[in-house]
Amino acid sequence: MIETTSLSKSYYGRLAVDSLDFSVDKGETVGFLGPNGAGKSTTLKMLTCFLAPSSGTATVGGHSIEKDSLKVRQTVGYMPENVPLYPDMRAGEYLEFRGRLKGLHHRDCRQRMAEVMDLCDLTQVSKKMIGALSKGFRQRVGLADALIHRPELLILDEPTNGLDPNQIRQARDLIRRLGEEYTVLVSTHILSEVEKISDRVVIIDRGKIRASESPKSLVRRLCQQEELRIELKATEKQVRALVNGLSKVEISSCDPLPDGWLEITLGTSGPSDQRESIAIAIQEKGWPLRELASRTASLEDAFLEVVSTPRKDPSS
């Protein structure tokens, strides 16, 4: 569905996107991730023909972004980070207006408008002025606009930007449902949401692709260490002596709590679960234990590992 070849973009001599080569297959939901200024929005604008590349090229749905830009725009439903809406139009009027601009005939446009308003849960606000809608409803209007012409591919740039936690969850559920019908490329900073909805993540940093694989595979490859949190009653010296006798375990932190309790964070490495052996060792010492819990690595941990890795300065 998307195929880029050495796609690059420069602004006033500064390379914002540097020779990107990645693809998105039909039916995939792909999270497009990166820190601020990494080149995400610039890449999405090139794929949707809002910006021309400085070099390289890309195809979307088999159409060149340079030679067949109208075909690309018909193939793509694009929701930018800041959705440009008309606040003095009613939601239903705006969607009908946008559908007609995108080439839908009157009867088909009305039918499709009803479908996307139902899908995005907008029916109850169809006659309200867009300027009077909450941020969450305005985002849904922008998504309905992206869907109205029946695109094959959805490109969503920060679709949960500015939403509260409940609205973020609703947006995540909607994107997951859309992923069953459309190919979706979504850029967002909410990594926990990406982990739940994406088949694959592409991480860009300083204009270059740094990773492209499934969230689980990326976490497994980059985050070998598991973290254990323990609360027990003993001295720090006793705990350190115990941990020194265990293999593949080290103390990350050891903090005192009231009444002689300690809060200990352990880092463990290797494929085996260390909780049972640690619990047995504590039990043999006769120390009171009130918590032993593990925290497995997340996509956020893997993301930070990727983007915090020092890069060599090509000029050095």
- Last residue of some domain: 164, 197, 221? 221
First vs last C-alpha separation in the chain: 38
Q: Is 106 exposed, middle or buried (0-12, 13-18, 19+ CB in 10 A)?
A: exposed
- Residues 183-221 pLDDT 10s: 999 998 778 778 888 999 999 998 999 989 888 888 877
Provide the domain limits for residue 253: 225-296
Same domain, 265 and 289: yes
Note whether 201 and 190 are within 8 A (CB). Answer: no
Same domain, 162 and 243: no
Same domain, 207 and 253: no
Note whether 140 and 121 are within 8 A (CB). Answer: yes
- Cα 182 to Cα 250: distance, rounded to the nearest angstrom: 46
Same domain, 285 and 235: yes
Same domain, 216 and 246: no
Give the relative orientation of helices 275-285 and 236-244 as an angle to the nearest 10 degrees.
130
- Residues 6+ away with beta carbon under 8 Å from 247: none
pTM confidence score: 0.78
Same domain, 212 and 240: no
- Residues 28-60 pLDDT 10s: 999 999 888 889 999 999 999 999 999 999 999
Same domain, 251 and 270: yes
Lowest model confidence (mean pLDDT) among 9-18, 163-172, 216-225: 216-225
Note whether 28 and 75 are within 8 A (CB). Answer: no
Question: Residue 304: inside a domain, yes or no?
Answer: no
- Residues 112-146 pLDDT 10s: 999 999 999 899 999 999 999 988 899 999 999 99
Question: Residue 316: inside a domain, yes or no?
Answer: no
Same domain, 67 and 198: yes
Q: Amino acid identity, residue 65? A: I
Note whether 44 and 157 are within 8 A (CB). Answer: yes
pLDDT of 261 strictly over 90: yes
Tell me what percent of the residues of the chain surpass a pLDDT of 90: 54
- Paired tokens of 170: 């609703």
Same domain, 188 and 289: no
Same domain, 203 and 252: no
pLDDT band at 270; cut points 50, 70, 90: low
- Cα 279 to Cα 5: distance, rounded to the nearest angstrom: 53
pLDDT of residue 313: 44
- Cα 231 to Cα 256: distance, rounded to the nearest angstrom: 10
pLDDT of 107 strictly over 90: no
pLDDT of residue 314: 41
Same domain, 190 and 246: no
Where residue 19 sits, what CATH number does that domain have?
Answer: 3.40.50.300
